[in-house]
Amino acid sequence: MRSNIKKLNLQNSYLQLPNCFYEKINPSSVENPKLVYFNKKLAKHLNLDFLNDSKSLVTNYFSGNILPNNSQPIAQAYAGHQFGHFTMLGDGRAILLGENQDSCNKLYDIQLKGAGKTSFSRAGDGRATLSSMLREYLISESMYNLKISTTRSLAVIDSGEKVYRETINNGGILTRIASSHIRVGTFEYAKHFCSKDDFKKFTNYVIKRHYPIIANHESPYLELLRLVMIKQINLVIDWIRVGFIHGVMNTDNMTISGETIDYGPCAFLNTYDPKTVYSSIDHHGRYAFENQHKIAYWNLSVFAGTILQFIDRDENKAIDFAQNILDQFPVIYTKKWYEMMFKKLGISNPIEKDKVLISDLLEMMELKKADYTNTFAAITMNIYPKNSLFKSHEFESWKNKWKERVKYNENSYSIMKESNPIYIPRNHLVESALESFINGDKEEFNKLLEAMSNTYNYDVKHDNLQSVPKDFDKSYKTYCGT
């Protein structure tokens, strides 16, 4: 069925690309959909506020039962390196309805995740569980409120159908908003499966859509590599700032826009241990907290490899040019990491010897198994609960040095408040809220969602959001593709 409502008039710029990049496919309808979440604030920002009019219309749009005007839905083709191994992938359960412009005239994708099978589904059912879509809604919106670049969540539908995994689950459909869904993996697909001509058209499309400023640059493809690299560095720095562990940084889960995508097995660090891994399938810690920048570099090297042919006709020269850009990664990352850490400690105009304050603190935090978020929040407030870190002589001596250092920095407190969230979506709270929701009680989920709109508000008291049950992390595991 197609809607007669004129207002949601979608564009489809991706359809201008050669047809190797997508499959035209409609969402599979569901029989008894219910709207469980609709992000009205986001709808307003996206110029979709007319959707407030009718709940049944919203439900039908976001379950895939009614297509908006001009929508020509597609599944996008992509490949990717999963845990280092190259595989053909593609949207196996996500369908792009089309694109629209937000209130700042920026183009964004409207995609339904869990919308049915496509030619990329392989053995999958094209569906998602309600619980995993609610998880993505909660964490992606928390990330947005933590001021981190991310895809966003507009709506969650309970599909009214059952989804079979290890257990029988309610099905869910998430409406995902992204500045595009183009990934490093889309470039890998283009290099391996499309003609050089088609790949070049695609690359030029990406430049026009995401980096128009370099369209007339003398070496636009090299510049593309540099800009994507900077975006990824900024993103990982922000993840480290709040203790976010993505969990599955495969090349198909790294966007060219620099937005966090794919909230499958992600989680947040509690106790500061740089080696932390929660994902049940990440046996060797490839995507551990401390490895995220190294993996970003690895993924960018794969990206560079795909566009070498456009950088220079002479492959050796192209490799040299690309390598020169990639060689800047560790230098820029380290510089930005220090800048971020200095902000967490409220130190402006840092000098070389201030670096010891950072390394000493992190070393003590690791040794004393201190909570990452709570430690920085306590230093920000200058209120120290009695735990083994704050009781120690080493910390007392560190604190004196730090206080001496920031004493003349008038704006320390405000810098720290902006860099150190007081609340994050704690893993145990997320899991408990999801479980209650699935058992029919929405209250816990609603409260957590509401609290996550205040992640930096030191004036709101939510003591229960800060404590973590003893040893919870030891057995906590996250899962992909549910």
415 within 8 A of 351, measured Cβ to Cβ: no
342 within 8 A of 378, measured Cβ to Cβ: no
Q: Which two tokens stand for residue 360?
A: 């000493």
Report the residue closest to Mg ion, judged by CB: 262
Instruction: Pick one of Mg ion, ligand AMP, none as the site partner of residue 91 (Cβ within 5 to 8 A by kind).
Output: ligand AMP
Residues facing 128 on adjacent strands: 172
Instruction: Pick one of Mg ion, ligand AMP, none as the site partner of residue 285 (Cβ within 5 to 8 A by kind).
Output: none
Q: Which is nearer to ligand AMP, 177 or 422 (CB)?
A: 177
What ranges make up the beta strands (E) of 234-294? Answer: 244-245, 267-268
Binding mask 190-209 for ligand AMP (x = CB under 6 A): --------------------
Q: Which is nearer to Mg ion, 176 or 426 (CB)?
A: 176
Q: What are phi and psi of 391, to 5 degrees?
A: -80, -15
Instruction: Pick one of ligand AMP, Mg ion, none as the site partner of residue 178 (Cβ within 5 to 8 A by kind).
Output: none
Q: Which is nearer to Mg ion, 236 or 379 (CB)?
A: 236
| Separation CA 33–CA 62 (nearest Å) | 9
| Separation CA 173–CA 332 (nearest Å) | 39
**Quick one: angle between helices 196-210 and 220-242, nearest 10?**
60
Q: Which of 262, 282, 371, 473 forms a contact with ligand AMP (CB under 6 A)?
A: 262
Please tell me the number of Cα atoms within 13 Å of 378 on its side-chain side. Answer: 18
Q: What are phi and psi of 338, to 5 degrees?
A: -65, -45
Q: Is 179 an interacting residue with respect to Mg ion (CB under 5 A)? A: no
Look at residues 272, 32, 47, 340 and name the one whose alpha carbon lies nearest to residue 158.
32
Q: Which of 129, 253, 374, 455 forms a contact with Mg ion (CB under 5 A)?
A: 253
Please tell me the number of Cα atoms within 13 Å of 361 on its side-chain side. Answer: 20
Q: Is 299 an interacting residue with respect to Mg ion (CB under 5 A)? A: no
Q: Which is nearer to ligand AMP, 57 or 88 (CB)?
A: 88
Q: Given the rule CB under 6 A, which of 20-28, 46-54, 87-95, 425-433 is the region that contacts ligand AMP?
A: 87-95
| Separation CA 196–CA 75 (nearest Å) | 22
Provide the residue type at 331 as one letter.
V
Q: Which is nearer to Mg ion, 99 or 262 (CB)?
A: 262
Q: Which is nearer to ligand AMP, 125 or 366 (CB)?
A: 125
3-class state of residue 475 by DSSP: helix
β-bridge pairing 244-245 and 74-76: unpaired
| Separation CA 445–CA 318 (nearest Å) | 51
Q: Is 231 an interacting residue with respect to ligand AMP (CB under 6 A)? A: no
Q: Is 220 an interacting residue with respect to ligand AMP (CB under 6 A)? A: no
Q: Which is nearer to Mg ion, 253 or 420 (CB)?
A: 253
- Which residue in this structure is represented by tokens 């496509």? 118
Binding mask 34-73 for ligand AMP (x = CB under 6 A): ----------------------------------------
What radius of gyration, in Å, describes the C-alpha atoms of the chain? 23
Of 238, 252, 262, 354, the catalytic one is 252
| Separation CA 135–CA 346 (nearest Å) | 33
Q: Given the rule CB under 5 A, which of 152-160, 228-236, 246-254, 273-281 is the region that contacts Mg ion?
A: 246-254
Q: Which two tokens stand for residue 170?
A: 């309610």
Binding mask 255-294 for Mg ion (x = CB under 5 A): -------x--------------------------------
Q: Is 158 a catalytic site residue?
A: no
Binding mask 423-462 for ligand AMP (x = CB under 6 A): ----------------------------------------
Helix (H) or strand (E) segment spanning residue 108: strand 107-113
Q: Which of 24, 54, 124, 435 forms a contact with ligand AMP (CB under 6 A)?
A: 124
Instruction: Pick one of Mg ion, ligand AMP, none as the site partner of residue 425 (Cβ within 5 to 8 A by kind).
Output: none
Q: Is 125 an interacting residue with respect to ligand AMP (CB under 6 A)? A: yes
Distance from the Cα of residue 323 to its chain's centroid: 27
Q: Which two tokens stand for residue 59?
A: 């439900």
Q: Given the rule CB under 6 A, which of 86-94, 292-300, 387-395, 413-421 is the region that contacts ligand AMP?
A: 86-94
What ranges make up the beta strands (E) of 138-257? Answer: 152-164, 168-178, 244-245
Q: Which of 37, 108, 120, 423 forms a contact with ligand AMP (CB under 6 A)?
A: 120
Q: Which of 160, 274, 350, 481 forms a contact with ligand AMP (CB under 6 A)?
A: 481
How near is the Cβ of 359 to ligand AMP at its closest, in Å? 35
How near is the Cβ of 321 to ligand AMP at its closest, in Å? 31
| Separation CA 243–CA 232 (nearest Å) | 16
Residues near Mg ion, by CB under 5 A: 253, 262
Give the catalytic positions in this structure. 252
